Structure 1
Amino acid sequence: MSIAGVVPESRVRSLTGIIRSTTQETRTTSSPLTGEAVAAVPTSSIDDVETAFDTARVAQERWARTPLRSRSEALLRLHDLILDHTDELLDLIQVESGKSRAHAFDEVAHLALTARFYARRLRRQLAPHRRNGALPGLTSVEVNQVPKGVVGIISPWNYPLSMALADGIPAIAAGNAVVLKPDSQSPLIALAGVELLRRAGVPADVWQVVSGPGSVVGTAIIERADYVCFTGSTATGTMVAKQAAERLISCSLELGGKNPMIVLPGADVERSAAGAVTACFSSAGQLCVSIERLYVHESQYDAFRDALVRRVRALSLGASLDWDTDMGSLISQSQVETVTKHVEDAVANGATVLTGGRARPDLGPYFFEPTVLDGVTNAAECFAQETFGPLVSLYPYRSVEEAVSLANAGDYGLNASIFGSVREARRIAPRIKAGTVNINEGFAASFGSIDAPMGGMRSSGVGRRQGIEGILRYTEPQSVAVQRAVPMGGPAFVPPETYSKLLTAGLRVLRRTPRA
């Protein structure tokens, strides 16, 4: 397979031309599938970032006056364009991130769902809402949702299309402009998405793109944005939060996770094992919401272990751009080293490798086998630290109470999964400290349900994407109150003491009025 044949130089130039850059500096990206060079990507300077924000601010004032119907129509056109260009988008995702085609399609589907969701609900979500006034009949209140201004988005490499655009779609839908910094390892697919945005009718100046190292360009974005949306590690997210706090601006952060799955007593072993394979090894485990801890009741532990190992061993790995491989590559050598270190450390501390456990350079530079560990102790690094790779640890438990306690251990709280009786799973779900809980599914049910908010608790982040929460984060609620006939302080001809007594009597009446 030749990367040059998949992404011709002419296509690279047309995409990288979207980046705002006046420097002569470039960074060459390579494909994790083969190690071949993909693109020379321009680097933006601090002045370029400044210009991007200046341009976006002017454009945002015009865009905010664009009727909601026009914005909705643009998002629906984007939905159609995404589906029309599925094959090219899948090629770019695979070339830049190394994931299998099926896992790449998750991004395309998620982005199309997001565009349609906000397009169809925009008027309802942003329309002024009436609230109860202080004095019934005399005071009326409406709440407007005012766009924050220019939103800075710093997106990750692991979902380079979905996370680059899905967070920005509600931002522009709400009347904001966006300055995006895609991850340096996978910029072309984000640029392809921005190109489709422009073709859908979103003005180019409304969505600016800059490129470069996070320590320089990312910091410059945070120093200028009216709101920051970041997806990445907890360590980096903590620094983003501090920088945003210094400017008294808000931010949303989706960070790391060490996500648990509980297999309840009596759960269907084969169905649970099949669900675990998908939950653990989608995108080679390089997914913030993927499962890294499996808790199985001791009565079914052996049966589940055997079913899981059998299914994992049957997974196919490869660098194909077709639909014939189950799992793709890791993104970089550093990811391979992290997974290797976690496996070796776990084994040194008493764990057993049930399957996998090896890098596969024969398939490509960064391939690693899907790996299942048994007997991992709390001395192992992977016991509590996020691996972010194709590695899962298997643990038995005695009671559901113990399983809940084990699932809640640690500092993270992004996603959790429960397999078994729906009634029992619903009962214990509120006790799990995680922003999303999937029943009889690993992560896709909540991830794909765009009407439901998604985000983390504890060290897994703050704020929510998706749902109405995903668009209201980009707005400021503004209360507009109208007072009629009588001032709040009472008529001028009524003495204050008399008015206070009248008001007291009115409050007592309202106390007895159910809807007041």
Structure 2
Amino acid sequence: MATHHAGPAPVVPSPLPPSLTPALVKRLARRVTAAANAARITTSAPYTGTPLADLPVSTPADVESAFARARTAQRDWAGMSVRERKKILLRFHDLVLARQDEALDLMQAESGKTRRDAFLEVTDIAITARYYARSAARLLGPKRRRGAIPVLTRTTELRHPKGVVAVISPWNYPLSMAAGDAVPALMAGNAVVQKPDTQTALTALWALDLMHEAGLPSGVWQMVIGRGGSIGGALMAGADYMMFTGSTASGRRIARDAGERLIGSSLELGGKNAMLVLEDADIDRAADGAVAACFPSAGQLCVSIERLYVAEAVRDRFVAAFVARTNELRIGAAYDYSSDVGSLTTPAQLNTVTAHVDDAVAKGATVLAGGRARPDLGPLFYEPTILTDVTPDMTLYDNETFGPVVSIYPVRDDEEAITRANGTPYGLNASVWTRNGARGRAVAASLHAGTVNVNEAFAAAWGSIDAPMGGMGDSGIGRRHGADGILKYTEPQTVAHQRIHGFTPPARISPQTWALLMTTALTVIKKAGSR
């Protein structure tokens, strides 16, 4: 194993910030749909391992009650004009920005991420709320479509809300994934029953609290807390549509169950994302990009990079620059912007990261940076880690680590880089680095991934909210963002009004003559260039 580089002085763990008062936690906990005598569960702060929140646990009966209230509330909510719903979302946008310090403290306390990573979630939700508030009228409004018979057929496409959408959101991005998926569903006129991950439920409940402050009617958005094995069946049974972010294994079960019920689902699942550094890349810029690609939220990001394919001609220069930058990262806990890398979120995640790295080292991988846990900083810290000499027999070669670990592989040319990047059942995100934009876009188009960034890690595609974001293959089905991100929560309806005459022949014309007339008409229409 390589000699450890101490880097800058670590950031000493901080106690919980003053904003996280018992009164705030209690107020947010009351937003959980659960019985008064519900069982309780206590979450812990990753930075220190100390107790954080005492939350009620919902039962299947609580979930059923939530759906019943949601259905009643949804009727009035869907009857509200898009303009009125827009006003609520824009007020929510303003509240998120104005009260961001509270959200940042909550996200850090629950997930262990740095403040800069938490702030990205604040900006993400503000952008998402503004986009759908101001785009919904255009996306959801009636659309005139070409009729079957020009002039005689007036055809209109309408969009109706699905009804009640179930959202199951993960712990790693507790504001982006919770509010980000609920916002378009709400804007489309649906009600939402949501199960956030228990570890980061306070952040999701904070978003719900703010949405009510913005004017959302009671019952339209509800939260339940509990394990999937306990209340997952009730969520599926009550849903008109299922939005899930999580593991591929869980996504397969949800897709199967949704298929049995004949309801739609959108699933963002696992990834083993690749970054390609071509031989003409700006090495300093690419090294900075690799740091930004691999280590945000301690690597616990669905679109972060775990595989680096570097052209042999620039491998040594790139590796030297990347390792140097990684060793300079400040790792630690602080409720300010002084840390570059924070903590892992759960003991299970630390166990996975440790096992993957230890297995690779035992089988011959070389550690170029990091490679060890840091209990001196807190119970769940792990150093940003760069590996090389990784082979297919190592667990992390093709399995998602979901931590601050990346493997570097040399490649001869673009073709080999593309082939190896595509050599996985996953297909969520990728990154390409080159000085030639046209070349980068051509390589990007050859990659099996739902989003590809040229000379950026992931933020360019994620932040382009007018474009769809999602996975291919084992990385999921469906899309968030863009038109797809709201239209998936609607049922399209075609209304065709036939005027003057329809498709059957008039009484005085024989079927044979009518067929000849229709054939002639179709031929003329085609020659006229009509679609």
TM-score (norm 2): 0.96
1:57 to 71, 80, 86: 71
What is residue 102 of structure 1 aligned with on the other side? 116
The answer to whether the aligner puts 1:499 opposite 2:514 as a matched pair is yes
1:62-100 Cα offsets, whole Å, 9 max, x none, are 111110111111111111111001100000000000000
Structure 2 distance, partners of 1:403, 1:484, is 59
Q: Which amino acid aligns with 1:73?
A: K
Q: Is the 8 A contact 1:4 1:38 kept in 2?
A: no
In 1, are the aligned partners of 2:17 and 2:105 still within 8 Å (CA)?
no
Distance 2:412 2:124 in 1: 38
The farther-off stretch of 381-390 and 498-507 is 498-507
| Matched residue, 1:314 | 328
Which residue among 10, 20, 44 is the counterpart of 1:7? Answer: 20
Residue type of the alignment partner of 1:428: V
The CA distance in 2 between the partners of 1:405 and 1:465, in whole Å, is 27
Residue 3 of structure 2 is matched in structure 1 by: none
Q: Taking every aligned residue pair, what percent have the same amino acid on both sides?
A: 53
Structure 1 gap segments, 5+ residues each: none
| Equivalence for 2:125 | 111
Q: 1:78 to 1:4 in 2, by over 3 A?
A: closer
Distance in 2 of aligned mates of 1:13 and 1:145? 39
Aligned-pair CA distance for 1:293: 0.3
1:181 alignment counterpart: 195
The alpha carbon displacement at 1:496 in A equals: 2.0
Cα shift readout 1:410-458 (whole Å, capped 9, x = no counterpart): 1100000001121101112111000000010111111111111000000
Aligned: 1:483 with 2:520: no
Residue of structure 2 in register with 1:398 after alignment: 412
Q: Give the secondary-structure state (helix, strand or coil) at the position aligned to 1:330.
A: coil
Aligned with residue 482 of structure 2, among 455, 467, 487:
467
Superposition deviation, residue 333 in structure 1: 1.1
Q: Is the 8 A contact 2:77 2:220 kept in 1?
A: yes
Q: Which residue of 1 aligns with 2:452?
A: 437
Structure possessing the higher relative contact order (Cα contacts under 8 Å, 6 or more residues apart): 2
Q: How many residues align?
A: 516
Deviations 1:272-300 (CA, angstroms, capped at 9, x unpaired): 00000010000000001000000110010
Conserved 8 A contact 2:432-2:443: no
Look up the match of 2:204. 190
The aligned runs of 1:69-218 (5 Å cut-off) are 69-218=83-232
Residues 386 and 406 of structure 2 are in contact (CA less than 8 Å); yes or no, is this contact kept in structure 1? yes
1:24 Cα deviation from its structure 2 partner: 2.5
Q: Tell me which residue corresponds to 1:324.
A: 338
Secondary structure of the residue that 1:245 maps to in structure 2? helix
Q: Is the 8 A contact 1:152 1:229 kept in 2?
A: yes
Give the match for residue 8 of structure 2.
Answer: none
Distance 1:210 1:85 in 2: 24
Q: 2:17·2:335 contact (CA, 8 Å) conserved in 1?
A: no
1:407 and 1:353, CA in 2 relative to 1: closer, same or farther beyond 3 A? same
Find out whether 1:447 has 2:462 as its counterpart.
Answer: yes
The aligned amino acid for 2:287 is A
In 1, Cα distance between equivalents of 2:59 and 2:506: 61
Q: Secondary structure at the match of 2:238?
A: coil
Name the aligned partner's letter for residue 2 of structure 1.
Answer: P
Q: Deviations over 1:163-206 (max 9, x none)?
A: 00101111011111000111011100000001111111111211
Unpaired runs of 5+ in structure 2? 1-13
User: Which is worse superposed, 17-26 or 453-462?
Assistant: 17-26
Displacement of 1:4? 7.2
Cα distance in 2 between the residues matched to 1:142 and 1:476: 14
Aligned-partner residue type, residue 323 of structure 1: Y
Q: Is the 8 A contact 1:7 1:38 kept in 2?
A: no
> Contact between 2:372 and 2:383, CA under 8 Å: does it hold in 1?
yes
Which among 21, 33, 43 is matched to residue 20 of structure 1?
33
Task: Give, in angstroms, the shift of residue 146 of structure 1.
Answer: 1.0
How many Å apart are 1:6 and its aligned residue?
4.1
SS in 1 for 2:430: strand
